[in-house]
Every structure is written in structure tokens, then in C-alpha cells.
Amino acid sequence: MRGYCLEDGIEGLLEQVRQSYHGKAYQAIQAALKDVYTQFELVFTK
């Protein structure tokens, strides 16, 4: 996840996490990333 540009969207990042993380907290990580991206859009699309 380090060095990923949110301006490119979040789909690639979610796919990377899906492929590399196989733990119980996957859904929590996915939700957190979506929340971060939503906040990013709110701040930088104004």
C-alpha cells in the first residue's frame, strides 16, 4: 500500500490487498481503505 496514489482510484489497491492478504481482518482493511478514499475525495475534489 505504501506509495500508492489515491488519485488513480482505489480499485487497484483493493485488488492488491485481496491478492496479498488472507487474514480474518480483510473486510475491515477493505472498509478502512474505502473510508480513507472517500475522505480523500471529499478533501481534494473541492
Domain for residue 19, yes or no? yes
Tally the domains of the chain. Answer: 1
Domain for residue 1, yes or no? no
Domain range spanning residue 36? 6-44
Domain for residue 33, yes or no? yes
pTM to 2 decimal places: 0.80
Closest CA to 20 of 12, 8, 32, 10: 12
Domain for residue 34, yes or no? yes
Domain for residue 20, yes or no? yes
Measured CA angle at 8 (ends 42, 45), to 5 deg: 25
Spatial CB neighbours of 36, under 8 Å, sequence gap ≥ 6 = 6
Domain for residue 35, yes or no? yes
Q: Which tens digit of pLDDT belongs to each residue from 1-46?
A: 788 888 999 999 999 989 988 888 888 999 999 999 999 999 988 6
Domain for residue 21, yes or no? yes
* pLDDT at residue number 46: 67
* pLDDT at residue number 14: 93
